[in-house]
Chain A
Amino acid sequence: MENAKKFGMVIDLDKCTGCGACMVACMAENNIPFRADNTDKMLSISWMHVYKLNNRKLFPDYEECYLPRPCQHCEGHGGHSPCVSVCPATATDYDMDTGIVSQIYPRCFGCRYCMAACPYHVRQFNWWDPLWPDGMEKMLNPSVSVRMRGVVEKCSFCIQRYQQAKDRAYMEGRREIAEDEYQTACTQACPAGAIVFGDLNNPEHAVHQLAQPDPARHGHSKNPRAFRLLERLGTNTKIYYLSSREWVRKAGDNYLEGEFKSKAHS
């Protein structure tokens, strides 16, 4: 598996405007259903969720930051992602060749153990039948299957785009796809250019250069602006966040008093 890819993202929180375009791009790409009332976010499905963080200070020292959260495609140690290992029906999988945590909807029987396992609230359950208002089912993307009530779903890194890119390359007699041939819908849509996607294992790719993963430390970033969510739990995620604000970087993980050391020199 020397040629194994490890797809991942770098999301620059200094650039992210919290506009939500990534959420909707994902909904449109991945046939995510909607309901009359989607305000209870714990009952609603959105593979990408934009969190609003704040520095917990009072007016006027108060600051906010937006944090888009797709699936973190946790590698754990050796592909032991929190959610994959617990699924009793092997309905979700860690692909050693791409680093993508996939979800096989027709196999999932809805026990929700994986939801309990994921500390990021990435995994979401189809509490209702996905129904589209008359006529609106016309905009469904045939490259992504529609999920049924009672199964769990989550961000797939738009795996269908990878398959399509691979198909195209194969037809053209190429073995490898270029960086820009496989880009996720949210990356492509982000009007602020906050999301960068690519192969973390490939030094040519922008994600690698920004994330600077340290293989000796389970991918911990050497970039002082970078952090990963809940890195201390050993989830070994593939989404790296950048921020020049210390409180934001600190909000990415839990720290005991005095434990957090700022890496940035700024």
Chain B
Amino acid sequence: MKVDRRSFLSFILGGAAGTALSPLPWKLTDDFSIWSQNWPWTPVPQKGEISYVNSACTLCPGGCGISVKKVDERVIKIEGLKGHPVNDGGLCILGLAGAQLLYGATRIQTPIKKVNGRWQKLSWKEAITELAARLKELRAKGSAHTVACVAGSDRGTVPELFSRFLAVYGSPNFFRTPSIWDSYELALYLTQGTRSMAGFDIENADFILSFGSGLIEGWGSPGYMFRAKGLLRKNGGRMDQIESRLSKTAAKSDHWIAINPGTEGALALGLAYVIIKEGLYNQNFIDQYTTGFSDRKKRVIDGFPPEIVSKMTGISTGTIVALAKDFARARKPLAICGQGQGHLPGNLQEFLAVHTLNALVGNINQPGGVWAVPEPDYIDWPELEMDGVASEGLQQTRIDGAGSYRYPNARYLLHRLPQVVNASDESPVQVLFVVDANPVYSLQDTASVKKAFEKIPFVVSFSSYMNETTALADLVLPNHVFLERYEDVPVAYGFPKPIIGLARPAIEPLYNTRYVGDVVIQLAKELGHAIGAAFPWADYATCLEETLSDNWDTLVEEGYVVDAEFNGTDLADAFETDSAKFEFNNNEIRTLAGYNPVKAEGDEASYPLLLVPYDTMRLASGYVGSPPFLVKALEDTILTGSQVLVEVNPATAKQLGLSEGKTANLTTPKGAARVKVHLSNGIMPGVVAIPRGLGHTAYDKFLAGKGVNYNQLSSPVEDPASGHDAAWGIRAKLSRA
């Protein structure tokens, strides 16, 4: 066939038309479209059976109930447990992001030990045998007391297993990480004679006077405080915040009263002055249930007239008087204290002063008041049989001196541990266990803590994550994360009723991790003799179930047991002091009843500003590192790129020649850091505020290297009254970079 131009063209055109009419282009187009929607690197979540596991969150001592949503064997989300007495379906930002901790990239997947500075995997059996050998050796040398343990809590089966282990092994050196609850415990003990926890019936109060407590920023049980604050509001209650910075709590209060940081106790006493002077106190309560009032009255009247208090606090006398009157005249006034989320124990005198305000208005063990919530009593294990080494070891004074002549009232003084270790030629701690704590990050004066940890010959971490402390450890025995394990949750800080929760595994452990409880039991068995005998359980699960015997079924079914009827003890029997009354004064209080503000470290001439840390719900600042969702949700006025922003009053910034977003050098007696400046009228002139929870050196790219750790810039200041760390800030200098 001759192909002329005409037939060629017809062929081309006909072909084109034919193709266009055939299904081919449409099919290709469709395929193309689908292909463009199915990039192989975009994950496709598998469908499956949806189920929920009710459990408890252990990411903070808040004690929230959670409902873990699963698709087949995947945990996809954590939601709040509806009807739970603490959080009733709501959940904090950290709890919501909990699944990211389960699947997080920095989980430790198997036991590891450090050999010549490098991590090496080992089996559980090897790890426990090795550790046991070391402990046996120490014990044989008569150095049993050089074994110490730092735990995030001293309540519940896991901490109790550790302290039991230490006791029967022969060491008094069990430490709990510091918090305001050290001071609250002590204030309650001194005035009421009970070893109990402070609980606050926020929802039934009608006036919350907060001395810097981050009521909605993680103070106490965040889950409860959020809900209770909402209920307080709903009932028309008032909330006033006394703080040098407009925290979120201050912003959500009826009044924000800016105060010179570190003088809160003076204000409490100044309010007491007005209340006493004006006769606004609860005469009935004072007469019937208290002693030492007249002595207290004299001290207050002599020492804290509004004029003096006004000078100290920077608050006008008018405000002090009006506030005192409003407080005393409220139906259910409730004063609370402890800075921010409560990471630092604080000034005992301040706690006594604030607690005394509640006593003046008679709001103790009352609805809408402060309750002495008894410590959980379900742990009732067989009496310990001590051998000679153990008895001898327990005779030794604690390394931190707690309970000694110098610090008679303190139970744990963890902040002193690095000081003592660094001051000794040979470390007084030879083996250190760290469980549910990250002291290398969370204790003040990080450099000195680090130095001490490096000096301690053998640090054992039970962390599930490669955090700062674990990075310095010699042996890591990783625990299951909270979604993989059983654990009792014995307390919800600040919750006004006794409550026990139960964390239950929502998922089989992902890695070769192990219950710390099991590790302690196995370690004890490996050591044998009296030590092994002290742990009669086959494993942790048996121990837990036996320990919770009465409550076990309810806990498994409901996830919690609450003494809903708890309304304290009859006031007549509530106080276990010698006088069986609330004691405004007694031998111990006599030395504490005044008020000496704790000074921030550093001299004013070189460091004209005050640096104070602040807490935000959007950062985890305890032993849990913030998961990626939290950092993502962080405001850009806190972090930009990897630089933290510090808050400065525009007037202060102007004097320093700084403006919004400018980089500056922040220097304290303890260290220096590069920061950016964020101007805010929500902070007192002369004060610089920095968020807690940043500046991690460990963890992954979502957290590490972002911002500055406040603890790196600060240092502990010892409270002369208790020995606790009472620092609230540190002097600082800010200059243009």
Contact = CB atoms under 8 A, between A and B. Distances in A.
A21 to B, nearest CB: 4
B632 interface: yes
A66 B637 CA distance: 14
A12 B248 CA distance: 16
A193 B633 contact: no
B309 interface: no
A158 to B, nearest CB: 12
Contact of B248 (A18, A25, A58, A149): A18
B79 A31 contact: no
A59 B686 CA distance: 12
A173 interface: no
B700 A192 contact: no
B93 interface: yes
B630 interface: yes
B45 A146 contact: yes
Interface string A37-59: 11111001010001010100111
B523 interface: no
Nearest to A14: B233
Interface string A61-90: 011111000000000000000000000000
Contacts of A132: 43
Contacts of A36: 701-702
Contacts of B651: 59
A169 interface: no
B216 A59 contact: no
A146 B636 contact: no
Contacts of B39: 129, 148-149
Given A27-B629, A36-B701, A38-B632, A19 B617 contact: yes
Interface string B648-664: 01110000000000000
B632 A59 contact: no
A46 B226 contact: no
Nearest to A15: B230
Contact of A142 (B33, B46, B258): B46
A170 interface: no
Interface residues of B, number: 75
A193 B48 contact: no
A233 interface: no
A60 interface: yes
Nearest to B685: A59
Interface string A129-154: 11111111111111000111100000
B634 interface: yes
Contacts of A194: 230
A70 to B, nearest CB: 14
A130 B216 CA distance: 33
Interface in B89-138: 89-93, 96-97, 99-100, 102-105
Nearest to B102: A139
Given A15-B233, A188-B80, A142 B90 contact: no
A21 B90 CA distance: 9
A21 B43 contact: no
Interface string B612-650: 000001100000000011111111110111100000011
B43 A140 contact: yes
Interface string B62-105: 00000000010011111110000001011111001101101111
Contact of A17 (B79, B252, B628): B252
B222 A131 contact: no
Contacts of A27: 97, 629, 632-633
Interface string B216-240: 1000001100110110010000000
Contact of B42 (A20, A41, A146): A146
A151 to B, nearest CB: 9
Interface stretch (B333-341, B450-458, B581-589, B676-684): B676-684
Interface in A177-204: 188-194
Given A142-B48, A189-B90, A17 B216 contact: yes
A258 interface: no
Residue with the highest number of chain B CB atoms closer than 10 Å, among A44, A57, A141, A189: A189
Contact of A190 (B47, B90, B216, B680): B90
A64 B682 contact: yes
A191 B91 contact: yes
B601 to A, nearest CB: 26
Contacts of A46: 632-633
23 contacts: A17-B248, A19-B618, A24-B93, A27-B629, A28-B78, A28-B96, A28-B99, A39-B636, A54-B681, A59-B683, A59-B685, A60-B256, A60-B684, A62-B681, A106-B37, A129-B41, A135-B105, A139-B100, A140-B45, A149-B39, A149-B42, A189-B79, A191-B222
A-B pairs with lowest CB-CB distance, top 5: A191-B90, A191-B226, A140-B45, A62-B681, A64-B251
Given A21-B93, A59-B258, A148-B37, 18 more contacts: A17-B248, A21-B617, A24-B630, A29-B77, A38-B632, A38-B634, A59-B649, A62-B246, A62-B682, A106-B33, A135-B103, A135-B105, A139-B77, A146-B45, A147-B42, A191-B80, A191-B91, A192-B216
